[in-house]
Amino acid sequence: MDGAVRLTRTPEPRKRPQPSIAVNFLPVRFRGHTFAAGVRPFESAEQLAALREELAGSHVVRRDGDRIVCVPLTAEAREVGELQKFEVGEHRALTMRLVQEALIREVIAMRYKLCAFSRPSFISRYPQHDLLALAAGDQGQALAALHVYPEYRLDARTSGPGSQPGIIVGLKTRNEIDLTVADLLARGLQVEGRYVLAETGEVRFNPALDDRVYRRLIGAVDSISDGRLLLRDAPGIRDIAADQAWVEARRGTFQDTVAALTGGRHGSVLELLEEAKFGLLGAAGRLARVTALAERLAAGGAVAIAAGLEAEVGLPAGTAPAQSRSRRVTFTTFREPTFVFDPAGDKTHRSAEKGLAEFGPFDSEFFTPRRPKILVLTPRAFQGTAEVFMDRFRRGVPDAKVYTQGSPGNTGWPTAKS
């Protein structure tokens, strides 16, 4: 028809392909649909602990509300309690607890020591995995007692991508300092203000535990007298011999220790260490490590998690067996942030902790009101302790590693009242 408008179909936009997601999630598939377990009424925490100790190695014992479920690992295991049948789909939380217990057994079979049982974690201390040794260069001998290792954590989850049950693999680095505080003092490290650890006996011995687990945080070093560390922020131990304590290897302390042991020639070592960490924890390195662990867990085939029930651990979600080795991951390296401590941007530092100690808070020069009033209420018996604390809060801690300047605008403060 003349003058008629011809309608044509509007072309649909091109569909983007679905991204191939690769995450630190290992799907778990079950061989079997049911498992049998003995059930007893829950009476007390002591009863539960006694059952776990009695049945260790033959059963997985778990509290489920007002009952205790004892799951035999093999058909030959003795019967405990009233026998009941459990459906995998209806009791996923209990089933994944069986997977978690199986992971503990697998980690031990791989000859690792556990840092924790609740979410099985372990440290890979193979010499070729020591990131600091790889970065140390000609300072390797000086830094032989310091290490940076990969640390893995396995967390069994009832649901993940695609609503599948599976295992989340956590991966981070672990700083370790083998030298005692006495050793570090002899090498020139200032330890006042630093937190320290000691073997306190709080953790019950278990041959499957990593030796470092027995070291617990006990407080910060306030001063040193006759080879003993006098502590603050220490609820249990007030002092300890320097050769019986280790500094907490938090990042700032670890870097200071590297500097002390290398005589200040540590700049390039720390830069190379950061590159090595990125190689481990960046997208490509993380995927490679998680995939390697998944392949190792799957190498022996399906794992028995209960009598008549097995579990298979798959490769990271979004990867296929043929792609796992050749998969390429794109990434961008960002520099660490520089922290700013004044509105003009003149006071900066690469370390938040050291910048705060040197310059004070960002808005310290612009507080309103400029002279704040603080009321401290304390029982008379603690008046002296409170006054010492408030004096340090106002004026800082002289010759300490942290909080040397005290509170911003502390000049002109009124005398503390009790």
The tens place of each residue's pLDDT in the chain, 418 residues long, gives 455 555 556 566 666 555 555 578 999 999 999 999 999 999 999 999 999 999 988 999 999 889 999 999 988 999 999 999 999 989 999 999 999 999 999 999 999 999 999 899 999 999 999 999 999 999 999 999 999 999 999 999 998 887 889 999 999 999 999 999 999 999 999 999 999 999 999 999 999 999 999 999 999 999 999 999 999 888 888 999 999 999 999 999 999 999 999 998 888 999 999 999 999 998 889 999 999 999 999 988 899 999 989 999 999 987 755 444 445 555 566 677 888 887 777 888 877 777 877 777 776 666 666 677 788 888 988 888 888 888 878 777 766 655 666 665 554 444 444 4
Partnered with residue 177 across adjacent β-strands are: 146
Tokens 């936009």 found at:
13
Take residue 162 and report the two structure tokens written for it.
């695609």
CA-CA-CA-CA torsion sign (331, 333, 336, 337): negative
Alpha carbons within 13 angstroms on the beta-carbon side of residue 274 total 11
Amino acid at 170: G
> Quick check: 224 and 230 in contact, CB under 8 A?
yes
Distance CA 232, CA 400 (A): 13
Take residue 359 and report the two structure tokens written for it.
């310059």
Pick the closest to residue 341 from 324, 329, 327, 358 (CA basis): 358
Distance CA 61, CA 72 (A): 9
Take residue 415 and report the two structure tokens written for it.
């005398």
Distance CA 67, CA 60 (A): 14
Take residue 355 and report the two structure tokens written for it.
């910048």
SS3 304: strand
Distance CA 103, CA 109 (A): 10
Distance CA 362, CA 343 (A): 7
The count of other CB atoms within 10 Å of the CB of residue 232 is 12
Take residue 237 and report the two structure tokens written for it.
């131990």
What was the pLDDT predicted at 33?
A: 92
Spell out a b/e string for 326-364, using b for 16 or more CB atoms within 10 Å of the CB, else e.
ebeeeeeeeeeeebebbeeeebebeeeebbbbebbeeeb
What was the pLDDT predicted at 340?
A: 87
Partnered with residue 312 across adjacent β-strands are: 29
Distance CA 196, CA 177 (A): 11
Alpha carbons within 13 angstroms on the beta-carbon side of residue 409 total 13
What was the pLDDT predicted at 265?
A: 85
Phi-psi region of 22 (alpha: psi -120 to 50; beta: other; left: phi over 0): beta
What was the pLDDT predicted at 305?
A: 93
How far from the centroid of its chain's Cα atoms is residue 275's Cα? 20
End-to-end CA distance of the chain: 99
The count of other CB atoms within 10 Å of the CB of residue 142 is 18
What was the pLDDT predicted at 114?
A: 96
Distance CA 402, CA 192 (A): 9
